[in-house]
Chains A and B, each alone.
Chain A
């Protein structure tokens, strides 16, 4: 079944993102394109609900709502991993920033006391 291939590929890609994910201009372009695509597909699905079921049948899923659920699950995983990577990167910067502030403050304190 096509849907099995698609879902396994999606989950494998999520694992790859978790392990090797780096913020790159290509990644940014992909995120923006996917967001734009999701909005357009969403509008289409609202206007023509029958399309979702047709798409589901085409990949071997019985109901359109099931397909939407599967896609939602994989998307959620991607978003979560991307956010985790982003927060980790921000935390690294915060640590370095706080460290420099702490070292500077300690130096100031010492200078004040030596005069």
Chain B
């Protein structure tokens, strides 16, 4: 890859790549990429078949852009981005980050440091340890239910189940391959952590829900689709 690390980057963050899956995010992607670029050495945007100008804008804002020829799903986009990031042997940590601007770059930077200091394979962002500005009451209740479900099914003592902000150390990122290509990948990550006994810690994050992110977010009933996906995936994996 041709991107060079600028001197002002923290050496730890210069060896971290931020992967941002995007699907029709032209309204926000420039700001998101610029903000992330201020702290991180590498930003990989995976365009999941957008029909707008997202890929052009992201590239102009300084991101490496990989374009899926057709829409494959958010999980698939993350995996593509992770693979692209790891093709550079310098990269030691991969950060997964949402394109809609709901995550904080400072949180992401802090999480990479936490990963280094604690020598863990995964750092998971948690809205429940941190805060979620602008979330509706029933969204919080739904997320709580998802947490309880995740704790019961994976045995992990996590406080958040579907936060898109995570840090993966190179060895963990390399072994991550999704069977669920759509929105259920977030739960799949947790079941992989549980199954392969990866070391992890949680870190408080601030998630800001805007009208934009709320409109882009999944409808609440999609939680049931995720439950179906997970149940089937688990039963099939047992064979």
Q: Which residues in A have their C-beta under 8 angstroms from that of B181?
A: 91-92, 95
The 0/1 profile, CB within 8 Å of A marked 1, for residues 41-84 of chain B is 00000100000000000000000111111101100100110011
A68 CB to nearest chain B CB (Å) = 31
**Candidates B2, B65, B69, B236; contact of A98 at CB < 8 Å:** B69
A80 within 8 A of B: no
Q: Are B68 and A99 in contact (CB under 8 A)?
A: yes
Q: Are A98 and B83 in contact (CB under 8 A)?
A: no
B1 within 8 A of A: yes
- Number of contacting residues on A, CB 8 A? 18
Of the listed residues B2, B68, B87, B232, the one surrounded by the most CB atoms of chain A closer than 10 A to its CB is B68
A102 within 8 A of B: yes
Q: Are A106 and B65 in contact (CB under 8 A)?
A: yes
B126 CB to nearest chain A CB (Å) = 29
Q: What residue in chain B is nearest A113 (Cβ atoms)? A: B2
A75 CA / B69 CA spacing, docked (Å) = 37
Q: Are A98 and B64 in contact (CB under 8 A)?
A: no
Q: Are A102 and B68 in contact (CB under 8 A)?
A: yes
A45 CA / B65 CA spacing, docked (Å) = 62
A98 CA / B142 CA spacing, docked (Å) = 34
Q: Which residues in B have their C-beta under 8 angstroms from that of A28?
A: none
**Candidates B67, B87, B236, B239; contact of A102 at CB < 8 Å:** B67
Q: Which residues in B have their C-beta under 8 angstroms from that of A110?
A: 1-2, 64
B152 within 8 A of A: no
B141 within 8 A of A: no
Q: Are B236 and A103 in contact (CB under 8 A)?
A: no
A101 within 8 A of B: yes
A114 within 8 A of B: yes
B235 within 8 A of A: yes
Q: Are B79 and A99 in contact (CB under 8 A)?
A: yes
Number of interchain pairs (Cβ within 8 Å): 50
Q: Which residues in A have their C-beta under 8 angstroms from that of B73?
A: 95
Q: Which residues in B have their C-beta under 8 angstroms from that of A94?
A: 72
**Candidates A20, A92, A103, A113; contact of B239 at CB < 8 Å:** A20
Please provide the chain B residues from 148 to 181 with a CB less than 8 Å away from any CB of chain A in the complex: 179, 181
The 0/1 profile, CB within 8 Å of B marked 1, for residues 71-108 of chain A is 00000000000000000000110110011011101100
**Given contact pairs A98-B70, A102-B69, A20 touches B236 in the complex (Cβ within 8 A):** yes
A114 CA / B179 CA spacing, docked (Å) = 35
Q: Are A103 and B72 in contact (CB under 8 A)?
A: no
Q: Which residues in B have their C-beta under 8 angstroms from that of A103?
A: 66, 80, 83-84, 87
B73 CB to nearest chain A CB (Å) = 8
A19 CA / B79 CA spacing, docked (Å) = 25
| 12 A-B pairs in the complex with CB atoms less than 8 angstroms apart | A18-B232, A20-B239, A98-B72, A99-B68, A99-B79, A102-B69, A102-B80, A106-B65, A106-B66, A106-B84, A110-B64, A114-B2
Q: Which 5 A-B pairs have the closest CB atoms?
A: A20-B239, A106-B66, A19-B235, A114-B2, A99-B80
- With A94-B72, A99-B76, A106-B67 given, can you name 10 additional A-B contacts, CB distance below 8 Å? A19-B236, A20-B239, A95-B72, A95-B181, A99-B68, A99-B83, A101-B69, A102-B66, A102-B67, A106-B64
The residues of A with any CB-CB pair to B shorter than 8 Å are 18-20, 22, 91-92, 94-95, 98-99, 101-103, 105-106, 110, 113-114
